[in-house]
Structure 1
Amino acid sequence: MSLEENPDLTGEVELEPEPSILVTPLAPYITPPPPPIKEESDENMAAASKELATNSDVKDKPATTSEDGIFSIMYTICKKVAIVGSIYLVGRMGWSVAWLIAPVIFSVARDQFRKTTEHKRNIAKASALANEKDVILARIDELPAWVYFPDVERCEWVNKILKQVWPNANHYARTLVKETIEPNVAAALAYRKINGFRFDRIILGTIPPRIGGVKVYDKNVDRNEIIMDLDLFYASDCDINFYISGVKGGIKDFQIHGWVRVVMKPLIRSMPLVGGLQIFFLNNPNIDFNLVGALDFMDMPGLSDLLRRIIVEQIGAVMVLPNKLAIAMSDEVPATTLKMPQPEGVLRIHVVEAKNLMKKDIGVLGKGKSDPYALINVGAQEFKTQIIENNVNPKWDYWCETAVLVNATLKQEICFRIWDSDQGNEDDFLGRATVEVANIVKRGVLDTWLTLEDAKHGLLHIRVQWYSLTSDPADLKLALQETQLLRVTSMSTALVTVFIDSAKNLKQARSNSRPDPYLVCSVGKHKEQTAMIMRDDSPVWEQGFTFLVANPENDTLQIKIFDQKTGSEIGQFAYILGALLTKKNMEIESQPFQLQKSGPESKIIMSLALRILKYANPVEENDVNEIGIGTTPPAATPAATNTNITRSSSVKSTTPESISNKDLQSQASRTSMDTPIIEEDNTLKVSSTSSSISPSPPRTPYSAALAAGEAVLTHRMPDTTSTAGEYGLGRIQLSIRYSVQRQRLVVTIHKIMHIPLDDPSNIPDPYVKLYLLPGRSKESKRKTSVVKDNCNPVYDATFEYLISTAELMQTELEVTVCTQKGFLKGGSPIIGMLKLSLNEAEISGNGVNSWFDLVPEMKHD
């Protein structure tokens, strides 16, 4: 076996990679496959072990200083004094033995946790040192991405370049951490009442990042850009020290793993041929680290989560979508091209409900229920539903929206995580599910049940709709109509992009020194803040933000500039967004505006662009790739069929917006064949057992936008009826409609007429009860008010049910008319009732408004 010298400055000797040779850095942790030739393998193992021992001795010897030595001695002395002193105080004060047992249990648990995590970190560090082929032969979990994905290419040559340039990256990383990460982490900790955070020493170590594979996109990509994804894995031997409230701590073995996207744009005709770079994570990366120093006691589950969460947030604020790290490479490219956000569309997410979640709370007789809530992550953005207490079948009905930037639909995911809320303790994990944004963009809308992963059981019902962006002001009217019909106040109709370029001649009224300015811009309740520029009265920020707007005709962009040194406001400006509707292409570029509360020459230079949300028509089902998620809805009864499942997962069949003219014609012909017998007063008759609702002949909806929202009644039955029904018990007027977008069944009880009056001295006090069958649960019970002494009561009461399309196919509506009189006298309080089978195809759109005959009481099953 030949050995070749490594050309780097360390003079290390590495073995020539062969399939039969053991991985040198992984030897202490991984059991390799048996070598074919024992003699040669023994020699190589001896050499590898000797080299590993040499390298470990060199790398494990820190550059100690006299200050670190004194601190280590003082720390050891204080630790011993604390142990002896605690035992002395327990005996002196007569405390319970629990004061001794609790710290012991705490220490043992921490040690066990650290052993497990340290073993994982050592394996990750060793795999980062090994070459690509050795990692594969070692059969570890962190294999390169090209092993799993056929469209990802090998890039070992990139790792060799990173190894060569890595020693020079420490200075850049220190500057980035000190100027960007440190103030943000300090502010986040100060918000949690932890002050005095600062970095003391930042050394990245000798282990460079490793690229497990690269994918270059060549389809559906603009000719003026290059897009590539890198599988980044960084397991460092870093040495980072910091202070929190005067206490010194440190971070060792920092690890990060995730997909990094690199966008080279625009391509230019002069060197370096690429105008700039945009670097960002598509989703939050996986992060792990080891706390050392005086904060070593925090390194166990629950205690270290706070610091870990803050670090993830700060990395997300810099490099996780919608945030990007933009690097200009040519003066020919303006800053707006690289740094101004370029949204491609908006995702409207509806977390409807969950079924059959795990029970995590401990009750008197064993495990009780859970208090579930859901977290929705799209890149660095996170949304949280309300907490539903003591329920494993929660109905959240939670809505949120997020903008998706250009080039982000490829590989970006929406992550749903379900948690059980435990006040005072760490929340329990109930499962997760992911959906690729690209599939939603292709479909236009996704309405499905997701099977929860990392859980024994559980299903999650979501509905996600994709909206493209248009610069036509005429589309605003339809967008406003749709949000009004949706009846959700937090939904948006437009999106505005703001690029803050710079400010000039900022002045303070009572100070001649230069300010430390930062800018806060807001639309409604959403606020964004720029970085702080030290001692500059003409700061250049070059930062862009995106705001979702409820109504651009009424909303205003508020801008305020503050001096961080004094905390005073040194400038403000307000822009009415409705003015953009009259601009060309609804945008302005690099325009100066006069600031108020500042000098007469103070100005702010910014760019604005307004876009209207427009529903994107879904493509045909044949053109949509299959989604790797569960679409099986929970069956309300064993009678659930495959037809119901298909209707639930098929976008085209459950979305009024996607119904074509051909579908309407076929539905019209089907309805005409199934139309029930119509009486003279244009009402529907109901059988004595169960009936299917059939509307009057199909009507053309107002527009696609109206059909996408809540159903609108365009045809009403007569307000009166001349008969008391087939059974002489009276007739009830109902309106029933189903909104596919809101997943809502809306039932309106208008009035009842001709209730029989057997005894003129005993006039009924009628009211109406509603139940959804099967089940007749308390959750589905609805009840009107009681109308005293009336045989023709008017209610006009509306009730809503949150129910999926698949469940609707298996559900019946039970309507019962009762009276409060006669119950204590032994008489039946039920005047009449009826059951209606619900059909989504018939009650969607304009819904049904009709008179129904009350039938005699039917016994419950």
Structure 2
Amino acid sequence: MEGDSENNTSDKVSKPNTWPYMTVSSLTLSFVVKLAAASVIWGWGYYNFSIAWLIAPIAFSVWKAERKRDNELRAITAQASVLAKEKELIVGRIDELPSWVYFPDFDRAEWLNRILYKVWPSMNQFVRQLCKQNIEPSIVARLTEYKMNFQFDRLVLGRIPPKIYGIKVYDKNTSRNEIILDADIMYAGDCDITFFVGNIKGGIKDFQIRGLVRIVMKPMLSIMPLIGGVQIFYLNNPTINFNLVGVADVLDLPGFNEILRKTIVEQIAAIVVLPNKIIIPLSEEVPMESLKMPEPEGILRIHVVEAKHLMKKDIGMLGKGKSDPYAIINVGAQEFRTKTIDNTVNPKWDFWCEAMISSCNMQEAVVSLWDWDPNVPGVQYDDFLGRATIEVNRVKKKGTIDTWVSLEQAKHGMVHLRLTWLQFSKDPADLKAALKETQELRITSMSTALLTLYVDSAKNLPCIRGNKQPDVYLEASVGGKKEKTTTVLRSCDPVWEQGFIFLISNPETGVLHIKITDEKTTMIVGEMSYNISLLLEKNNLEVTQQPYNLQMAETDSKLVLSMSLNILKYIHPEPTSEEDDDDHDINQLNKRIERQESNISNMLSSSVPSSPLKRQSSKESVNSPSRNVGSGAVLLSEESAAVEEELIVSTSAPSSFAESSHLIHRNPSVTSSLGEAKLGRIQLTLRYSVQRQKLIIVVHKIANLPLPQNDPHNIPDPYVKLYLLPDRHKETKRKTAVMKDNCNPTFDEQFEYVVSQGDLSTRTLEISVCTQKGWLSTGSNVMGQIHVKLSEIDVSKAITTWYDLQPEIKD
């Protein structure tokens, strides 16, 4: 205690001596910078130079300052969330909340964080070797085309260890022979990393990485250490962020920054993102093949059909142009890219790809949309158009999903995806059906089988370079895909113990090619070919630890392999009574709404006495999206609307109608089909996904928008604009397409907001119906508006409701 008090006292004494010096230094530097800027501007005018040359550097400096401020704020927030105690973290409402706050099945792990704090100093050497051996060569290869060299100089992790925000241990749907747990881990430390780019010295600070790490412990043993081995991997690509400092801050442009960031992400993915794993054997009793042999669960076939109503990012002659969109599909470390469609916001790709899935639970397929722009070498200008996320487990449960998905992190836009789950079969007879299916699709890139290859070792390889042992690696290829092992130095009997997976178009004609190469001389020291059709004749379509002769002069050289073939087969899932919380497609919602509206119409026709006021059904007069404005359609009077309202809210309805009445209802204030304020009505579906922490809004249609009184022939061009208050800024803005000349437009567009369940009750959804402005028009274009307080409605189930539009509320 005395030592602590002395340290605290010395800290308090030393601070007053350092702060004045720091303040004077910063003031002096600020004065010099401002004096230099004023001198440059004065000199520019004195020598009559054009002021236009100053616009670019001034704009660049402003952009740099704003970017630096945002990055520093993000870094400070992340470090605060890592260092803060959990109670302080929740009370402070920091965005990076622990997983156990969002998901009740995640447990707190403060005891494990204390262990990490003790172990963290010993991790420095391991990370240094990882960066030197894997990440540095990849960055050098990326910068070769720009004739720039790269080298790490200093690698210190700092004193702040990673923090585990929550741990989930699976007790269901797992084998008795394994333990599976997920850990939500974030690192936001005070690392000190310096590097050289050519002769320029720079550094990285505020490095952050967060993702869901899965740890699999298997097989279970009856002797110590009770567990045969450990597998560690990320389910999806982790989120990475960092800031450049020093002279390299000059290079903190979108180009160099993105190259550096993408290379780091790719190298992490190549090491520890599925299907890649870190494998740690714990017992010699367990063969390495059982730990390192790839174990896929199935194949996810993805069809990116098209997109619609994407954002316009290109600049045209008369303002906003269109976009040149393409899509990137990521499933773990696997990445696919569509072609680029020029000059459109409604692209049609018809792109197919297949991803190998090692773990359905918690793994996602992410489709990111981008606007392609011409690139200056080293600088990336492509604009982000939004992304769509589909949980792989949903596809496995449904068998196939064909849906429009609204884009996240975008004002508007949707993408049409078809996803199919393919299981594995060991029956050779299923190959005929798989081949027939791919022929009907007429897609040459589709696969019918999956080959799992495990390269164990080689024996008696020939010596080279004057009887010296070679530095060898093995390369395996099937079709156009190649896989490569690590290099084993100076060995004629190398042991690789690595597994690979190949998708096979046709196993009856496919051939596996293998060659072993000396790394220094690039000389082939052994090679072989294997017809995959031979596996169709083997028991269970596999061979285990089989030695094969290599094609070379030394006939005693052998390669030990294990291979397994699986036929891809679509199996219809068994129907379940449980409805998937996230499986509410817009088309399904519309069908349900039509059935419910039909029930309402039937109830009205059978329960309300015939009256000259009710000359057509409520569906025709109120909900029809194709009303002709000039036809003078007869509307429901206040009396008949009141009767309809009474029927909907009350009494002796059949059970089917009573079950659906919570989905189709009106505000109690409805007095006519024009709405309380005579501005029309809007139909919405609201629901909240607890699993995905997302608020989903479907804008269905608008009924009976009024014509301008001063110009009844000017039919509006309506669209719907959404904000999630109190955050009224461009990131929370969503917008539908514009419908030309229509007072009863149908949109059927879906929008999503990522919001925690705790914050949901504090949010208000603002929905404005606007009309597109003309070139010279002024004033507000809002035709009607509603504010939905999410605390006052139950969004745990899909609720479809008509809302009366009200006059606009000014901020």
Q: Scaled by the length of structure 1, what TM-score is found?
A: 0.62
Specify the code of the residue in structure 1 equivalent to 2:133: E
Match for residue 374 of structure 1?
327
Match for residue 465 of structure 1?
420
RMSD value over aligned CA atoms? 3.6
Q: 1:52 to 1:205 in 2, by over 3 A?
A: farther
C-alpha separation between the residues in 1 aligned to 2:161 and 2:275? 27
Specify the code of the residue in structure 1 equivalent to 2:356: A
Residue 448 (str. 1) matches residue 399 (str. 2): no
Match for residue 602 of structure 1?
557
Q: 1:587 to 1:184 in 2, by over 3 A?
A: farther
Match for residue 418 of structure 1?
369
C-alpha separation between the residues in 1 aligned to 2:215 and 2:86? 22
Match for residue 310 of structure 1?
263
3-state SS in 2 of match to 1:622: coil
Specify the code of the residue in structure 1 equivalent to 2:365: I
1:680-691 residue pairs with structure 2 within 5 A?
Answer: none
Return the offset for 1:392. Answer: 1.4
- Cα deviation 1:451-481 (Å, max 9, x = unaligned): 1122222121111000100111111111111
C-alpha separation between the residues in 2 aligned to 1:645 and 1:393? 30
Return the offset for 1:50. Answer: 6.8
Residue 169 (str. 1) matches residue 123 (str. 2): yes
Larger radius of gyration: 1
Q: Among 340, 345, 364, which residue is 2:298 paired with?
A: 345
Q: 1:194 to 1:216 in 2, by over 3 A?
A: farther
Specify the code of the residue in structure 1 equivalent to 2:180: I
Residue 214 (str. 1) matches residue 167 (str. 2): yes
Residue 258 (str. 1) matches residue 211 (str. 2): yes
2:464–2:470 contact (8 Å) kept in structure 1 = no
Q: 1:575 to 1:102 in 2, by over 3 A?
A: same
- Cα deviation 1:181-218 (Å, max 9, x = unaligned): 3334433444x445543323221111100000001111
C-alpha separation between the residues in 2 aligned to 1:625 and 1:286? 28
Specify the code of the residue in structure 1 equivalent to 2:422: Y
Specify the code of the residue in structure 2 equivalent to 1:421: W
Q: 1:518 to 1:199 in 2, by over 3 A?
A: farther
Q: Among 257, 272, 286, which residue is 1:333 paired with?
A: 286
Q: 1:485 to 1:596 in 2, by over 3 A?
A: same
Residue 532 (str. 1) matches residue 487 (str. 2): yes
Return the offset for 1:626. Answer: 2.6
Residue 127 (str. 1) matches residue 63 (str. 2): no
Return the offset for 1:138. Answer: 2.2
1:439–1:624 contact (8 Å) kept in structure 2 = no
Specify the code of the residue in structure 1 equivalent to 2:242: F
2:463–2:492 contact (8 Å) kept in structure 1 = no
Q: Among 146, 150, 169, which residue is 2:104 paired with?
A: 150
Specify the code of the residue in structure 2 equivalent to 1:253: D
Match for residue 307 of structure 2?
354
Specify the code of the residue in structure 2 equivalent to 1:570: V
C-alpha separation between the residues in 1 aligned to 2:592 and 2:303? 24
Residue 493 (str. 1) matches residue 493 (str. 2): no
- Cα deviation 1:350-406 (Å, max 9, x = unaligned): 11111221222222222122111111110111111111112211111110001111x
1:430-579 residue pairs with structure 2 within 5 A?
Answer: 430-507=385-462, 509-579=464-534
2:139–2:260 contact (8 Å) kept in structure 1 = no
Return the offset for 1:12. Answer: 7.1
C-alpha separation between the residues in 2 aligned to 1:645 and 1:449? 21
3-state SS in 1 of match to 2:174: coil
- Cα deviation 1:655-678 (Å, max 9, x = unaligned): xxxxxxxxxxxxxxxxxxxxxxxx
Q: 1:147 to 1:568 in 2, by over 3 A?
A: same
Residue 115 (str. 1) matches residue 72 (str. 2): no
Q: 1:90 to 1:339 in 2, by over 3 A?
A: farther
Return the offset for 1:523. Answer: 0.7
1:495–1:547 contact (8 Å) kept in structure 2 = yes
Match for residue 800 of structure 1?
none
C-alpha separation between the residues in 1 aligned to 2:515 and 2:322? 48
C-alpha separation between the residues in 2 aligned to 1:142 and 1:326? 29
Q: Among 180, 191, 200, which residue is 2:134 paired with?
A: 180
1:415–1:434 contact (8 Å) kept in structure 2 = yes
- Cα deviation 1:430-469 (Å, max 9, x = unaligned): 1211111111111111111111122222121111000100
1:572-587 residue pairs with structure 2 within 5 A?
Answer: 572-587=527-542
Match for residue 138 of structure 1?
92
3-state SS in 2 of match to 1:233: strand
C-alpha separation between the residues in 1 aligned to 2:110 and 2:245? 33
Return the offset for 1:346. Answer: 0.5
Q: 1:51 to 1:332 in 2, by over 3 A?
A: farther
C-alpha separation between the residues in 1 aligned to 2:280 and 2:12? 40
Identity over aligned pairs, percent: 53
Return the offset for 1:229. Answer: 0.5
Specify the code of the residue in structure 1 equivalent to 2:475: V
Match for residue 252 of structure 2?
299
Specify the code of the residue in structure 1 equivalent to 2:183: L
3-state SS in 2 of match to 1:478: helix
C-alpha separation between the residues in 2 aligned to 1:268 and 1:228? 18
C-alpha separation between the residues in 1 aligned to 2:553 and 2:166? 52
3-state SS in 1 of match to 2:560: strand
Question: Number of aligned pairs?
Answer: 579
Return the offset for 1:532. Answer: 2.2
Q: Among 170, 189, 192, which residue is 1:236 paired with?
A: 189
Residue 271 (str. 1) matches residue 221 (str. 2): no
1:506–1:598 contact (8 Å) kept in structure 2 = no
- Cα deviation 1:599-620 (Å, max 9, x = unaligned): 4433222211110001021221
Q: 1:327 to 1:368 in 2, by over 3 A?
A: same
3-state SS in 1 of match to 2:79: helix
Q: 1:459 to 1:621 in 2, by over 3 A?
A: farther
3-state SS in 1 of match to 2:297: strand
C-alpha separation between the residues in 2 aligned to 1:53 and 1:139? 34
Q: 1:100 to 1:502 in 2, by over 3 A?
A: farther
C-alpha separation between the residues in 2 aligned to 1:325 and 1:375? 26
2:135–2:263 contact (8 Å) kept in structure 1 = no
Specify the code of the residue in structure 2 equivalent to 1:243: F
2:138–2:263 contact (8 Å) kept in structure 1 = no
3-state SS in 2 of match to 1:330: coil
